[in-house]
Chain A
């Protein structure tokens, strides 16, 4: 019990510490790929510290909702990230680590952020919120369909058990798993406002989605929202690593060496994931907002196909 508590506490600290470094790594790799020098990897930490020290400016007609939203969003995303097994499977919150619970936590964070975007009443916030909701209404069914595929395969919706299933059984190369992986990557790109759907590097552009919603925030509020965005990116990469490449994670009750190995493996997986994300983002162009529905429809389709094929192989 106390060991589980220690692992859980270590993981909560770890996701918070690693998230800005991951964002920094993606930015640095993107800069190097376009032959710029780029800011150092630790730049996001400095940005967060600087923002925390600055004064938070509120619009005259901002309500209490606008002020509490950054805390709500950050808390929801942090808890969701704490539920995903990263370097060890045995977590204290393991029994609660349900994929559907994680989807719900992220959904509520997004709901409050969209409300806050509407709260001040600027046109940019409204545009951002409406587009964010459009993307969410398409991304969430796709995400749930992918979750159903994996749960049908493993017979459970608990993340730790799914990872255990893939580790323990000789699953082999399943077509359904391949389809779920492709679909989840597409959903992750959309949910994190990455390039084919939204451009994370712009301010004040008519096509932006996430940045438009948080345009009115400043100071410590903005720091919390930026940290939440970084943790969310880390969460999706951890989810992909946990579901599709769980090898190297320390089992429940393992020794210190296994934990160290799991930690090193996890950092390695994150680095590979971050570099791959930068490669994808550099390689393709942002699509028009109205094509996002087709992109996410494709993700939904992949999930649907995966579930369908699972029923075919199950019926024998």
Chain B
């Protein structure tokens, strides 16, 4: 039973990696938001699994925060923002989907190469979990730099933060205060993002950050 639970936690971490790739693959704005909600819900399930495994009740609170805020509240709020700004057509990418996915595989290989020497003496599955978390973080970064639209960049940032929580839940001894403060700082970051989205939109009539570069004098 314990072994099966261990496998399940591991499988959920692997699913998060696959959903990160699905985020890179999505073309429609609402598809991105729904996939992000799925990402957060799988994270909540993975953290709950870890809580059961490590017998650490405070991780249930982390799972609850991930589910309520990131799985429900933030995607719903982003839905409303996208509807009010009327930008739900399609996602503008800097480079094509194919090259982005290839870059993603490269990043996963990089994460594996980085994690292997560091965790040489730990259990094999812990090393794999850490590799998954690092890959999710790197894919979040990749999503932020390959999307033009500010809303998708916010989603990239949030998925990166999901990776951080996955890494933190896998190791023992993360204090609850740290987790709660991280969760709330992300929420505040989201509110700041939201305010900025409306301001950028008011000022430039678009959410394509490409126009900001022109404004700053970085013309290409």
Contacts and interface: CB of A to CB of B under 8 A. Distances in A.
A308 interface: yes
Interface string A278-316: 000000000000000110011001101100110111011
Contact of B18 (A182, A308, A311): A182
A313 B125 contact: yes
A309 B17 CA distance: 12
B167 to A, nearest CB: 16
A298 B101 CA distance: 8
Contacts of B124: 312-313, 316
A64 B109 CA distance: 50
Contact of A293 (B4, B98, B127): B98
Given A179-B14, A298-B25, A301-B101, A312 B8 contact: no
Contacts of B17: 305
B129 to A, nearest CB: 10
- Tell me whether chain B's interface is mostly helix, strand or loop, or mixed: helix
A294 B7 contact: no
B127 A302 contact: no
A297 B14 CA distance: 19
Interface in B66-115: 97-98, 101, 104-105, 108-109, 112
Contact of A173 (B7, B25, B109): B7
A178 interface: yes
B209 interface: no
Contact of B97 (A178, A182, A294): A294
Interface in A147-188: 170, 172-175, 178-179, 182
Given A294-B98, A298-B21, A302-B18, A175 B4 contact: no
User: How big is the B interface, by class?
Assistant: 20 to 34
Interface string A169-212: 01011110011001000000000000000000000000000000
A178 B101 contact: no
A175 B25 contact: no
Interface in A121-170: 170
B128 interface: yes
17 contacts: A173-B4, A174-B7, A175-B128, A178-B11, A178-B14, A178-B15, A179-B14, A179-B18, A297-B101, A298-B21, A302-B18, A305-B17, A309-B131, A312-B124, A312-B128, A313-B124, A316-B124
Interface of B: 3-4, 7-8, 10-11, 13-15, 17-18, 21, 25, 97-98, 101, 104-105, 108-109, 112, 116, 124-125, 127-128, 131
